[in-house]
Amino acid sequence: MAKATKSPFRSSLHANRSCRACDGCKVRKVKCNLASPKCSSCVAVDINCTFTAPVRKRGPRLTRLPTASDSVVFISPELSHEARLTGSRAAVPLLDTPTQSPISGLGLEISTISAARPDERKLEHDIVTIGKYLLCGLRSPDNVDLLEEIMAGCSAAFFDTFYALDPLVHRPRFDIHCRQICQTLRQHVLQEVSQSPPLAAARPLTPIDFAVVTAVCAKTLLMSPSETHWREPMFQASRKALALYTEFELENPSSGSIVARYIQSGYLHHIGKRNQSWLILGEAMRFAEVLNLHQKQTYEGDLDPWERELRSRLFWILYTADRSAGCIMRRVSSFCVNEAHEIDVPFPDEDFDRAQSGEANGRDAAGIASLSPIVGFNLNSRLWRQADLLFRELQYLRHRCTVGKMTLEVQDYARIRQLHVAFDTCLDSAPAAFQLPPVPLTASAQVGPEPGMIAVQSANVHVSFQCVRMRCLYAMAELYQASGQNYPWGLVDISLTKIELAREMIQVVKSLSIESIKANGEPCAEKIRLTGAALLDVINGDSDPALIARAEAHLETVIHILTSLNSKAVDAVTLGKAT
C-alpha cells in the first residue's frame, strides 16, 4: 500500500490543527477542510478564515468563579434578557485572544469583541471603520448625506411594502439606529459636530445594530429597479459588522444577530446563491435553538415587550423557512424543535404594532387598510404548520412501510384524511383581504401600481398553498408505492390531478398582480417553478397524447409567467423542456 503523504497545499500551521476547525466552521457546526488560506466553507460565505479559539483538551472543563482580575464581557440590555433565560452569566470570563480581527485581511483594522469590556468609544470606533468601508463601496467616501438618503428611502420602502414578509424590525428603533450611524460618521468622517437633537437611544449603537440596518437596506435595494450598485456594499457591510461578534456570539447569541442572519440569508436567496443562503440560515436556526425559542417558557419572565414579540416572530419565520425549504428543495429539516409534543410557541400578537404606534383600530370601506400585516404572517405560519403535520405523517407511514414492511391500516387512512382536510381548508376562514376572486384561465395577469403589504402577503400565502398541494400529491403517491398498493385514482388520474393543480396555480397567479409576486422574490418564483416541473413529469412520463397536449399548453403559460417575473427559475423549467 502506498505511503500517505501530506498535501502540498496544506501549510505547516494547519497541519498541526488536524483535530480543529476554524472559527467560522465552529459557528456553523460544519466540517472544516483546513484549506489554506481559507477553508471551503469560509470561501462560500465570504468571511475570513481564522483560528482564534484556543485548543481545548479532552475531558470535562474546569470551572471556577471569576475573580476581580478577570476581564468581563459587556452585554447590552438586549442580551441580558437572553442571558437571564438561558442561564448564561451577564459577565463571562474568557481566555485572552489575539487582537487580529476575523476580517482584518480585508483591510479593516477592527478588533473583535473579546473579554475586555467594550466602552462606547470602542463600539463607536468599530462602527466608524465599517461605515467608512460602506461609504467607499457607495462610491462616495465623504458623502454621508447620500447614505442618510439611501437609508431613509429603504426605511420607507421596507415598512410600506416588505415589512409584512420580514416583520423582524421595530421601526422606531430602526430609524434611530439609522440616525445614529449617520451622526457618528459625520462626526468622525467629516469632523463635524452634529446639530441634530439628541437621540432617544437606551444604549449605544452596536455592530449588530449596524448589521441589521444594512441587511434590511440591502434586501430592500434588491427589489428596487434602480441604483443596483448600492445593494452589494450594504450587504458586505452587514456581513463585516456581524463578523465582529463571531466569538462573542458563540456563547451569547442574541435576537438581533438572528435577525441579521435571516435577512442576509434572504438576500443571498434572492440573488440565486442558495447554498450560501442555506449556510447562513442554518446559523440563525442554531442560535435560535440556543435561545430555546421553541419552548414556551422562553417567552415568560421579565422581558421587554418588543423582545418577547420578536422572539415569537423569529421562531415562526425560521420554522416556516425551514419547512418551506424542505418542501421546495427536499432538504432535511434542520430546525430541531420538539416534535414529541405539539409546538406551544405563541403566535405573534396581531395588534402589537398598532398598540405600539397608538394607531386607532379604524377601517376603510373595504376593511383592508387597517388590517395588521401580522394577520397575514400568522396565516402563512399556520398554513405551513398544517402542511408540516401532514408531511410528517406521510413520511412516518412511508418509513413504516419501507423499513418495517407493514401495510396501511384503516386508522392510517383516517389519519391521512383528517390531516389532509385540515390543510386543504386552512385558508377558508382567512380574512376577506386574503380571499382570491375567481379568475378565468384566459385572463391576463394584472399589472397595477406598487402593491401594499396585504397584497404581497396574499401572493405569498396562495402561491405557497398551491405549491404544497402539488408536493402533497407526490408524497401520497410515494406512500402508496412504498406500501405496495395502487394509488386510489390510478396512474392516469395522477397525471390529470397534476394538470388540474397546475391549472389552479395559473389561475391564482393571474388573479394576483405581477408586482405582488415580484415583491416576494425568487422563493415565490421557485414555488411556481414546481408547477412547471410537475407538467414536465406528465409530458415525459405519460403516454396519452391528449394529456401530453394539455400539459404542454399549461407549461407554456407557466414559462411565460416565470419570464415576466425575471426569475432564474425559468431556466430550470426551459432546460427540462428541452431535454
Per-residue pLDDT of the chain (579 residues; tens, 9 = 90+): 444 444 333 333 343 444 578 877 776 667 788 887 788 877 776 677 877 765 554 444 443 333 333 333 333 333 333 333 333 333 333 223 333 333 333 334 444 444 344 556 667 788 888 888 898 888 888 889 999 999 999 999 999 888 988 999 999 999 999 999 998 888 887 665 445 555 544 567 888 999 999 999 999 998 876 667 889 999 999 999 988 877 777 777 889 999 999 999 999 988 888 889 888 998 898 888 888 888 888 888 788 889 999 999 999 999 999 888 877 776 666 666 655 456 778 899 988 888 876 655 545 444 445 688 899 999 999 999 999 889 988 888 888 888 877 888 889 889 999 999 999 999 998 998 888 876 554 445 555 445 688 888 999 999 999 999 999 999 888 888 888 776 655 555 888 899 999 999 999 998 888 888 988 888 888 899 999 999 999 999 888 899 999 999 999 999 999 888 876 656 555 555 555
Q: What is the pLDDT of residue 192?
A: 52
Check whether residue 312 and residue 447 sit in a common domain.
Answer: no
Asked if the structure places residue 95 within a domain, the reply is no
Check whether residue 417 and residue 305 sit in a common domain.
Answer: no
Check whether residue 156 and residue 302 sit in a common domain.
Answer: yes
Distance of CA 5 to the CA centre of its chain: 43
Report phi then psi at 356, rounded to 5: -70, -35
Q: Mark which of 277, 302, 329 sits at the end of a domain.
A: 329
Check whether residue 304 and residue 391 sit in a common domain.
Answer: no
Q: What is the pLDDT of residue 312?
A: 93
CA dihedral (152, 240, 569, 167) positive or negative: negative
Check whether residue 375 and residue 324 sit in a common domain.
Answer: no
Check whether residue 275 and residue 421 sit in a common domain.
Answer: no
Asked if the structure places residue 110 within a domain, the reply is yes
Asked if the structure places residue 200 within a domain, the reply is yes
Distance CA 165, CA 293 (A): 20
Asked if the structure places residue 424 within a domain, the reply is yes
Check whether residue 421 and residue 550 sit in a common domain.
Answer: yes
Number of structural domains (the chain) is: 2
Check whether residue 144 and residue 217 sit in a common domain.
Answer: yes
Check whether residue 406 and residue 495 sit in a common domain.
Answer: yes
Q: What is the pLDDT of residue 26?
A: 74
For residue 204 the three cell numbers come to 449605544
Check whether residue 424 and residue 304 sit in a common domain.
Answer: no
Three-class secondary structure of residue 324 per DSSP: helix
CA dihedral (495, 532, 514, 424) positive or negative: positive
Q: Mark which of 329, 356, 389 sits at the end of a domain.
A: 329
Q: What is the pLDDT of residue 101?
A: 34
Check whether residue 322 and residue 376 sit in a common domain.
Answer: no
Q: How many contiguous H segments (helices) and E segments (strands) does the chain have? A: 22, 0
Asked if the structure places residue 7 within a domain, the reply is no
Structural domain including 310 reads 104-329
Distance CA 150, CA 33 (A): 40
Report phi then psi at 513, rounded to 5: -85, 145
Q: Mark which of 308, 329, 350 sits at the end of a domain.
A: 329
Q: What is the pLDDT of residue 250?
A: 73
**Whole-prediction pTM value?**
0.74
Distance CA 345, CA 217 (A): 30
Q: What is the pLDDT of residue 361?
A: 53
Asked if the structure places residue 97 within a domain, the reply is no
Asked if the structure places residue 565 within a domain, the reply is yes
Asked if the structure places residue 431 within a domain, the reply is yes
Check whether residue 399 and residue 294 sit in a common domain.
Answer: no
